[in-house]
Amino acid sequence: MPTTLPQYDAPPVVEVVLSAQFDPVPGFTAAHAGRFWATLDHQEWTTAEEAPPIEDAFERFGDERVWASPGLRLIPGGQPARIRIINSDDDHMLQIQPSRFVFNWRRRVGEYPSFRVLFPQFLGAFERFRTHCLSAGLEPLALNQWEVIYVNHIPRGDLWKTPDDWSAIIPCASFPTDGLKGHKPEAVACRWDVVLDEIRGRLHVDLRFVRLESEQRGEALKLQLLARGPVKNEPGFDLEAGLNLGHETIVTAFDAMTTPIAHRVWRRREH
């Protein structure tokens, strides 16, 4: 992994997710999450709401490998709720359930604040949550997975007008049209799974054409990079090391997958 990561002044990232997964805590309920919210500054963290829980996800290797779709999948009703605590600017969110603590940044008005800013915020909030659980008489959190997600939207506009332009941004988005006279692709959906250092985790890359339903509207290429791996009591397998590995892998992969033309629009810094 490079010692100096690529940096962009105007990256197309619209969401960053940092997550710590642990064995389900016996006796943990939505009330514990509510009491955790009560310890936060309510002028900053103004809203709390319930949502269906996220299914636990594990990266397995060798004979234990399981072929499944990556990403966050919701569990049907009947399970303890996930509590989402949202700040006043609606651009930061804490998500809590009996087996997960999730920290989200979402693009609203301001620019992406960088991993250097978000990572300490996640660590501080997670340590506060861990301490809160202990003070409530719950068992210590037994971490088992780390997870990092970057979601990028590349909207129709300056960089692309038609699907013919996609390969000028992301070369792997090109479609071999030789022999298909008059036929034009109108959508794309690609996925790659990459093993990190044999057993340290995986990078899951998902590229697809989407129609945005947010205030932006319009059409976009959505490039999601998800890195996930195990947390163990071994050197290099702790939560912080895993999240740093995930971030480094995602940034390096994003830079390698995209072209200098796109880099100029996103204002890649030259070292």
- Predicted pLDDT of residue 223: 97
- Predicted pLDDT of residue 3: 60
- Predicted pLDDT of residue 78: 53
Describe the chain by its helix, strand, coil percentages, rounded to 5. 25, 30, 45
Contact by Cβ (8 Å): 37, 45 = yes
- Predicted pLDDT of residue 173: 82
- Predicted pLDDT of residue 75: 52
- Predicted pLDDT of residue 238: 95
Average pLDDT of adjacent 10-residue blocks, the chain of 271 residues: 82 98 95 94 94 93 62 55 94 97 94 96 97 96 98 94 92 73 78 90 96 78 97 88 97 97 94 66
- Predicted pLDDT of residue 234: 82
Judge residue 210's burial from the number of C-beta atoms within 10 Å of its C-beta, 0-12 exposed, 13-18 middle, 19 or more buried.
Answer: middle
- Predicted pLDDT of residue 233: 83
- Predicted pLDDT of residue 66: 59
Q: Could you give the residue ranges of the DSSP H alpha helices within 2-89?
A: 30-38
- Predicted pLDDT of residue 198: 75
- Predicted pLDDT of residue 72: 56
Q: Which contacts (CB < 8 Å, 24+ apart) does range 263-271 have?
A: 263/8, 265/10, 265/158, 265/159, 266/8, 266/9, 266/10, 266/11, 266/12, 267/8, 267/9, 267/10, 268/6, 268/7, 268/8, 269/6, 269/7, 269/8, 269/9, 271/4
- Predicted pLDDT of residue 67: 53
Q: Which contacts (CB < 8 Å, 24+ apart) does range 263-267 have?
A: 263/8, 265/10, 265/158, 265/159, 266/8, 266/9, 266/10, 266/11, 266/12, 267/8, 267/9, 267/10
- Predicted pLDDT of residue 141: 97
- Predicted pLDDT of residue 150: 98
**CATH number corresponding to 13-151+189-205+228-249:** 3.30.590
- Predicted pLDDT of residue 186: 80
